[in-house]
Every structure is written in C-alpha cells, then in structure tokens.
Amino acid sequence: MPAWAQGNGVVTVATVGEPPTMDPMISTADLVGTVTQHVFETLFTFDKSWKVTPLLAEAMPTISADGKTYTIPLRPGVKFHDGSDLTADDVVASLKRWTKLASRGKQTAGFIDSIEASGPATVVIKLKQPYAPLLSLLAFNNSAAIILPAKKQDEPLKEFIGTGPYMLKERKADQYIQLVRFDGYKPREGEADGYGGARRPLLDEVRFVPVPDANTRVESAVSGQYDYVDAIPVESFDRLKQSKASQPVMLKPFGYPVFVFNTAEGATKNLEVRKAIRTALSMEDMLAAAFGSKEFYALDGNIYPAGFVWSSDAGVAGNYNVADPDKAKAAAKAAGYKGEPIRILTSRQYEFHYKMAQVAAEYLKLAGFTVDLQVVDWATLTQRRTDKGLWDIYITHSPFLPEPALIGSLSTSAPGWWDTPARKAAVEAFTTEADPAKRPALWAAVQKVIYDEVPFIKIGDFNALSAQSAKLTGVVPAPWPYFWNVSVKK
C-alpha cells in the first residue's frame, strides 16, 4: 500500500454554490470543473507554465507531418473507480460522447474525421485539416473531454465513475458533495507540476459545501469554519490577513469579468444595440464598485493582459470604457431600439458580478434603456442562459485561459450563439494555423472581430481571493483549486 493511502483527514471546501451537474462534459461552469476534476480525468492537462502535459495519456501524441493524425498512447495500469481497466475503447467512446454533448467537443467535431482505437492502449484521432487547439481542448477541465467506462456513457450520466484520485460517495443537494479517496489510484511518476505530474490523494475525504452568500464565506474563512473557502470578495483581504485560523490565497491577475450578449434573439440580436450598450458603460466605475482598491483590478480592454503572448490592443481604441450615455442613447435610437427591456442575468453568489450589474443598470438607464435586472442563484443562471428566449446579457467571468480557442463564446453552440461569417473566417484562420509564431497575429484578428461584432464585453482584469486553513499544506493557488497533494498538519 502506498504511503499516501494511509489517510490524512478530511478537508471541507466552501464553494459559491451547488454545481448544476456532476457531468463536466455538459457544463462550462468553473464550479463544475473545480469539483469534478477530482473524480474524472482527461487525456492531457496543463502544467504550471500552462503547457499541455499528459495525464491519462502515457506521453504527448505523435503528430503526422501534415498535422492531421494524432496517435495517443495510454498509460498502463490505470483503473476506473469500478475496478475496470482503462482501455482505448473507453477513450474512443468518451471522446465521441464529448463531440456530441460538450460545447467545446462540438466546436472540435467539425475538424475531426475519425476517432479510433489502434490496439488496446492506443487511440488515433484523424483530422480533416490541422487544428492547433486540439490538445488544449482535450486538456481542459471545463466542457471537459473526461474519460468514462465505455459501458457507462449514459446521457445524462447515471453513474459518476472516473479514474480520478477521489470517488463520488454522496451528493446531498444544497448540503455537500462528499468525495473519498480512490485507493486504486495510480499517480504519474515524478513531481507535481501544476495540474500535471503526480496527483497523490493524501486526504481520506474532500467535502464541497455550497455557501452562496459572499459575506458568510468571508466570516467562515476568518473563523476557520472551513479548510478552504473559494471566491472571497477582495475587499476582505485585510481581515483575512489578521485571522489566526486562515490565510489569504491570492491569484494575480486571475481573469476578467465579462458581459455576454444574446446574439440570437431579443433586443441584443441587433449589433448596433450591442454597440450602444457598450458605448454607455463605464468599465472603470464597474471595476471600482466590484473590487474597491486598484490593488485588485486593472482597466484593460486587451482580452489578454501584458505578459501573455496573446496580448493585443486590436479593436480596443474607441470601443472600451467609453462611458457616454448620451452618445449611446442616440446610437440606440438610430438602431431602432424601442424601449424593450434589456434582461440582465446575474447572481449574488459572485458578489462582484452583482455590483457590476447595478452600476451597468444605472448607465443603461441614463442612455434610455429599459433594464430588467434578474438576480438568481448561480445554478439557475447557468440553466437560464441556455434558453435563447430568456435573457439579453448574462454576467460571468473567466480566468486567462492558456489557449484563446478555449474561450467559451468563440463556440457557436455556447450561450450567446455568436455565429457570423467574420467570426468563422477569423476563428478558423486562427485555429488551423499550426505555427506558434504566426498564431498571436491571427488571435489579434479574432480580437478585432470581437470588438467589431460585440458578442461579449470584457470589463477589465481582476485578482481572485480565496482562503486556506493554517492547518493545510500543499495548496497551490490555481484558478480551479484542487486538493490532491494536499494534507492536514498533524
């Protein structure tokens, strides 16, 4: 028995709410990915430098000279939670389910010619044309290409059987999700490396508890009620620093808040109305309301900030932080806006979303828009946004993703349903270019189209704050916190 299987206690994790599903293929919610990455695994994942690295694959794939055939060897000796062995047939069935059900799988499906087993431990993916984001999409824990047993591929899932370090034992809605160590887990060799490398399940149990109220999460962090508390308002940083029970975990910069438009139906189907809404808004005032101190945010219209190879100012000038309600009012009128309610979906589980919504509503009213602010819980929001008839804007956020093709709104099947000839041309030029040196300029062209067609609005950059118990060791700050390689000090 490996040393880690001797057990090291229970860790409780306070999350922003109840995940809408435990099937990460069918959801892009970060909360779903955070919980389920402990239960299910993908062929690849990301290391600490955000490079793709093998997870269930034994090694990186062999790629043919024309960039169209990926041969992926599988790790030997990997078992599912039901005791069965991982084989190529399981991978083929899972990837076919992913291309059918997952928004990012559907995004990829158009490029795939075939997915087949070549013997029991090798999978071959043949593409119709080169597709640079393939490995990043296979590595992502969100709309994830998780590997399930071939015989347990129900739609929706009935059994939650993965290969991960922890198994689902019990889920009590709105109370907890209880994961227990999988003693048959086989970590990779070597050291931990971001989400890659060795994942050792040192804990007996990880219990995720929904705590939807942001202030309650702050108080529970200060008092040490939970071992880890996710998504804490950044203005609580000083209080956390003074706590004896917990310490702050800061990710800087973490990501960006985003307003996503419904481009398929309703008032915001009209591009000129979307542009008028953007013209009305003060990103600066929204960020100040959401995060308080400039220590915690930056005014930045580039989708990726400085320091990323993808950072570009294409399309930003004159289109970001305009904050001109009078100009917006004239533009909306010229666009044929007749006072229809602009339905904004938001949630107080992420308090900064709600604060930005309140500021946005005031600017939009000054610009003559009728605003219907709908404040719901996060699980309801993620369900409602899938219905084209129910909303015009929803507020969310994203970490800075290692591959821009992972940005949800670029998929025509993602809520927002952005699907235009300009999008298709720019995104396909970017995703089919295999030469890393040429891809940043092609991404800048995609960003220009995003500013031209306004499928979503980036508000700015922000840091994320969580808290961990002083008793925990091995926690690595990460956009989707994970609890393998974590233990409790004796």
Half-sphere CA count of 302, side-chain side, radius 13 A: 15
Q: Residue 3: what pLDDT?
A: 56
- Mind listing the pLDDT tens digit for each residue in 71-90? 999 999 999 999 999 999 99
pLDDT at 218: 96
Find out whether 263 and 417 touch, Cβ atoms under 8 Å.
Answer: yes
Q: Which residue has the tokens 């004239």?
A: 330
Average of pLDDT values for 304-314? Answer: 94
* Rounded average pLDDT over 1-15: 77
Domain ranges of the chain: 1-39+164-245+470-490, 42-156, 253-463
B/e letters for 216-247, b = 16+ CB within 10 Å, e = fewer, are ebbebbbebbbbbbbbbbbbbbeebeebebbe
Give the separation between CA 323 and CA 376, rounded to whole angstroms: 27
As a dihedral over the C-alpha atoms of residue 178, residue 206, residue 163, residue 104, rounded to 10 degrees, the angle is 80
Q: How many CB atoms lie within 10 A of CB 174?
A: 11
Mean pLDDT of the chain: 95
Q: What tens digit of pLDDT does each residue of 93-137 get?
A: 999 999 999 999 998 999 999 999 999 999 999 999 999 999 999
Rounded to 5°, the CA angle 163-164-168 comes to 100
For 234-244, the pLDDT digits (tens) are 989 999 999 99
Which percentage of the chain shows pLDDT scores above 70? 99
3-state secondary structure string, 269-327? HCHHHHHHHHHHCCHHHHHHHHHCCCCCEECCCCCCCCCCCCCCCCCCCCCCCCCCHHH
Q: What are phi and psi of 63, to 5 degrees?
A: -115, 130
| Amino acid, res. 438 | K
Query: What is the structure's pLDDT at 373?
Result: 98
Query: Distances from the Cα of 241 to the Cαs of 15, 42, 88, 221, 481, in angstroms?
Result: 20, 36, 49, 11, 20
Q: Is residue 87 a contact partner of residue 174, using CB atoms and an 8 Å limit?
A: no
Please give the CATH superfamily to which domain 42-156 belongs.
Dipeptide-binding Protein; Domain 1 (3.90.76.10)
Q: Which amino acid, residue 313?
A: D
Residue 45's φ and ψ, nearest 5 degrees, are -150, -165
pLDDT of residue 340: 97
Give pLDDT, residue 435: 87
Calculate the alpha carbon distances from 404 to 191, 293, 301 in Å.
Answer: 28, 28, 15
Model confidence band, residue 434 (pLDDT cutoffs 50, 70, 90): confident
CB atoms within 10 A of CB 263: 24
Peptide bond into 130 cis (omega under 30): no
Q: What's the distance, CA 70 to chain centroid?
A: 25
pLDDT band, very low/low/confident/very high, at 156 (cuts 50, 70, 90)? very high
Question: Can you give the pLDDT at residue 286?
Answer: 98
Q: Which CATH superfamily is domain 253-463 in?
A: Dipeptide-binding Protein; Domain 3 (3.10.105.10)
Residue spans of alpha helices (H) in 133-245: 134-139, 214-223, 237-242
Q: What is the mean pLDDT of residues 398-414?
A: 94
Q: Report the DSSP pairing between strands 166-172 and 122-127.
A: unpaired
Nearest Cα residue to 296 out of 246, 243, 346, 237: 237
Asked if the model's pLDDT at residue 4 lies above 60, the reply is: no
Average confidence (pLDDT) over 250-273: 96
**441-461 residue pLDDT tens:** 999 999 999 999 999 999 999
Round to the nearest angstrom and report the end-to-end CA distance of the chain. 21
pLDDT tens digit sequence for 310-354: 999 999 999 999 999 999 999 999 999 999 999 999 999 999 999
**CA 226 – CA 208 distance, rounded (Å):** 10
Q: Model-level pTM?
A: 0.88
pLDDT of residue 212 exceeding 60, the answer is yes
The mean-pLDDT minimum among 259-263, 399-403, 481-485 falls in 399-403
Write down the pLDDT at residue 134: 96
Q: How confident is the model at residue 439 (pLDDT cuts 50, 70, 90)?
A: very high
% of the chain beyond a pLDDT of 90:
94
Burial label for 69, CB within 10 Å (0-12, 13-18, 19+), is middle
What pLDDT is stored for residue 1 in this prediction?
52
Domains 1-39+164-245+470-490 and 42-156 share a fold: no
- What pLDDT was estimated at residue 6? 59
Residue 410 tokens read as 């670029």
Task: Classify residue 306 as exposed, middle or buried by CB count within 10 Å of its CB (0-12, 13-18, 19+).
Answer: exposed
Q: Which CATH number fits domain 1-39+164-245+470-490: 3.40.190.10, 3.75.10.20, 3.20.20.70, 3.40.50.1390?
A: 3.40.190.10
